[in-house]
Structures are given as structure tokens and as C-alpha cells.
Amino acid sequence: MKQLNLEINKKTKNNKNTLVCFLSAFALLADITKVKSDTLPTSFLANATVNPSCSVSASTMTFVNYTETRITASSNIVLNCSNGRSYTVSLADSPDYTDGLRYKLLLSGGNASIASNYLLVGFFKDADNGLAMTSGAATFTGTGTGSAATIGQIWGYIAASQIGKLAGTYNKVMTVNISYQ
């Protein structure tokens, strides 16, 4: 009988050990399943770029019919530059007449070396013909606002007494430059 008791005691002892191990494992498992909720701050950089840009346009300068009297016309200069961008607008073309101030409006299909095939025109920054606009001179300057705006006018005049001109349409394409920073 003593032997049986021993076996029972051994079994009970083993069951206690098993129970303690089982309970310890369960407690450990229960602890693992608890999620610790800490907040860890971090940051990121949001980045955007606005590229500088400008565009310029000019309306057609249309003169009334030439009758050997002085005539004037104008062209509106419209600019759209990024807000805060400084700009300079000028004519790119150099005068093509010998006085260095005037340009030739050429008869369609005409020859620029024959006087009856061109009308001389001068371009100015103001209506009083005070500031000649030639190849970079008499510029328009300012700062862009981010929207289109008329920044000025280029005035043209065709002097009186240009006699012997052939009938037809005279024209010249002028280039307006814009530089901006």
C-alpha cells in the first residue's frame, strides 16, 4: 500500500508540475497577446516647386491706309509672369534701315532693297515718340502678379512724304523678347 501511495504522490506531484507549467505558459501567452499601445511620433517633408514662368503676347499693330501723311498705330503688350518674378520686355529686332532707328515694312512679295517696296516705320514706347524701341532699348520692366495683364503699348509711326510706294499690303513681323528671373 505504501508503494501505491508513492505512485499517487508522484502522479500528483507530476500533475502539479504540469499544472504549474501549463499555468505559466498560459500567463506568458496572455502577456504576449497584450499589445502595448505607445505612440511614436515621426515626421515627413511635403515639398512642392513653382517653376518661374512668363509669357508675352502682342496685338497686331494695324495702320490705317497710308496716304503720304504721318500715321500712328499701337500694339498692346500682354504679359503673364509667375507672382513675384521680375521681367524685362524689349524688341529683339535691330532696325533694318540705314539710320539705325527705323524698320522696313515690306510690300508682300517685294524686294527690301527697292525703295518703292517698303515703308519706313519707327517703334516707340510712348505715343509722343520719345523713347525709341530698338533692339533692347526702351524696355518695359516690372514684377509679375501670376495673371495676365497689359503692361504697356508699343507705338508705331509711318512718316509722311514717303512717295512712290507701290500699292499693296506692307508688313513686318517683329519679335518681342522677355527675360525674367
Q: Answer whether 0.75 is exceeded by the pTM.
A: no
Q: What is the mean pLDDT of the chain?
A: 84
Residue 49 placed within a domain: no
User: In terms of domains, do 60 and 148 share one?
Assistant: yes
User: In terms of domains, do 60 and 140 share one?
Assistant: yes
Non-local (6+) Cβ contacts of 52 within 8 A are 81, 82, 85, 180, 181
Residue 119 placed within a domain: yes
pLDDT score recorded for residue 151 = 95
Q: Which residue has the higher pLDDT, 20 or 89?
A: 89
Q: What DSSP character marks residue 138?
A: S
User: In terms of domains, do 30 and 75 share one?
Assistant: no
The pair phi, psi for residue 87, each rounded to 5°, is -140, 160
User: In terms of domains, do 9 and 78 share one?
Assistant: no
Q: Which amino acid is at 87?
A: Y
Separation between Cα atoms, residue 176 and residue 114, nearest integer Å: 27
User: In terms of domains, do 125 and 166 share one?
Assistant: yes
Average pLDDT over residues 78-88: 95
User: In terms of domains, do 26 and 95 share one?
Assistant: no
Residue 45 placed within a domain: no
User: In terms of domains, do 111 and 171 share one?
Assistant: yes
Residue 46 placed within a domain: no
Average pLDDT over residues 7-22: 51
pLDDT score recorded for residue 138 = 83
Handedness of CA 72, 149, 132, 108 (dihedral sign): negative
**Are 103 and 172 within 8 A, CB to CB?**
yes
Residue 152 placed within a domain: yes
pLDDT score recorded for residue 14 = 53
User: In terms of domains, do 17 and 106 share one?
Assistant: no
Separation between Cα atoms, residue 100 and residue 92, nearest integer Å: 14
pLDDT score recorded for residue 34 = 60
User: In terms of domains, do 81 and 158 share one?
Assistant: yes
> Domain total for the chain?
2
pLDDT score recorded for residue 126 = 85
pLDDT greater than 60 at residue 162: yes
pLDDT score recorded for residue 27 = 53
pLDDT score recorded for residue 19 = 47
pLDDT band at 181 (very low <50, low <70, confident <90, very high): confident
Residue 111 placed within a domain: yes
pLDDT band at 115 (very low <50, low <70, confident <90, very high): very high
Write the Ramachandran bin of 54: left for phi over 0, alpha for psi from -120 to 50, otherwise beta.
Answer: beta
User: In terms of domains, do 63 and 26 share one?
Assistant: no
User: In terms of domains, do 2 and 89 share one?
Assistant: no
pLDDT greater than 90 at residue 136: no
pLDDT score recorded for residue 2 = 46
Grid coordinates given for 119: 515703308
| 104 three-class SS | strand
Q: Which helix (H) or strand (E) holds 79?
A: strand 71-81
**Which domain range does residue 15 map to?**
1-39
